[in-house]
Amino acid sequence: MTGPIGYTTTTEDVLKGVSLAGKRALVTGTSAGLGVETARALAAHGAHVVGAVRDLAKGEAATAKVRADAKAGGGSFELIELDLASLASVRAAADALVAKGEKFDIIIANAGVMAAPFGKTADGFETQFGTNHLGHFLLINRIASLLNPGARVVSLASSGHRFSNVDLEDPNFEHTDYDPWAAYGRAKTANILFAVEFDRRHKASGIRAAAVHPGGIQTELDRYLPEGALDAMVAQINDDEKAAGRGPFAFKTIPQGAATSVWAATADGAEVGGHYCENCHVGAVLAPGAKLNPLSEGVFGYALDPETAKALWAKSEQWVGEQF
């Protein structure tokens, strides 16, 4: 990547002059938003991209430009069916990939839900934790044998991890009053901790993992927010920014939001491995209790704690009924 990097960096800025010919990538959630742009950028620069979606018809309709740009750039694109809220679906998708035996250089765990009303996955897990964390945990571990030496795993997290640490004793809110943002925070913290532990387990073979925060983008992720809630959040941010002598908040475009995923997938592994990344750089660790708004950069230390990461991994193995 050449030139300045930061909030407005796009996927094309990241990949300018980069050839991904011969590389294979798996991207989950390629039926909308960031997933579509992430797949498009990789394929447009020569990679073969496998997009994983819950709804194949929706995925086909959403990825026409991915296929066109792949053809123009020497890459290719295909879709597979995957419902992260069903461990049976995850196992079926993983088994099919393993049986096919084609290796991967990049996995980007992009799919997810945000601030959903209380619900449970097909296996009885709280929706956000089960979908965002456990589905990806099972998928990536089941296909880890397909990762080439030097491969990269990118786990989509969020500044929303600041809402809550993981709760290893009550992940499904059976003994805690449900709050959609607390649940989102738990899931996003888990996404970061997964990257920390996966990186520790695989870095000796050159396989590195990183977590990324894409920034503030308007996508289908906000579909569960009550009417007017997003406008109210932006108004509060703008009041805070004005009081601090700064200009108004601007949402990232989708190519800007997908840039950090693409950057972490192609940057030097030693630079990003085991870290939380944002705005195409490694995020700083924040002091406990730091007062922040959604524009603030940085990651709370609990989301990078290696012992919590190990404990979450062990619990996740118990919850999915498999050891890795």
Q: Point out the residues that are catalytic.
A: 184
For residue 232, give both structure tokens: 């109210």
In the block, tokens 């695989």 appear at 202
User: Which letter, b or e, does each residue of 91-100 get, where b requires 16 or more Cβ atoms within 10 Å of its Cβ?
Assistant: eebbeebeee
Q: Counting Cβ atoms within 10 Å, is residue 324 exposed (0-12), middle (13-18) or buried (19+)?
A: middle
Q: Counting Cβ atoms within 10 Å, is residue 62 exposed (0-12), middle (13-18) or buried (19+)?
A: buried
Residue 219 CB neighbour total at 10 angstroms? 18
Q: To which H or E segment does residue 262 belong?
A: helix 259-266
Q: Could you give the CA distance from residue 292 to residue 286 in angstroms, rounded to a whole number?
A: 10
For residue 292, give both structure tokens: 């922040």
Q: What are the C-alpha distances in Å from 124 to residues 85, 168, 172, 319?
A: 9, 16, 8, 10
In the block, tokens 């949402």 appear at 251
CA 17 vs. chain centroid, Å, equals: 25
Residues 6+ apart with CB under 8 A from 60: 79
Q: Could you give the CA distance from residue 188 to residue 208 in angstroms, rounded to a whole number?
A: 19
- Sheet strand arrangement including 147-156: 76-81, 48-53, 24-28, 104-109, 147-156, 208-213, 276-278, 281-282
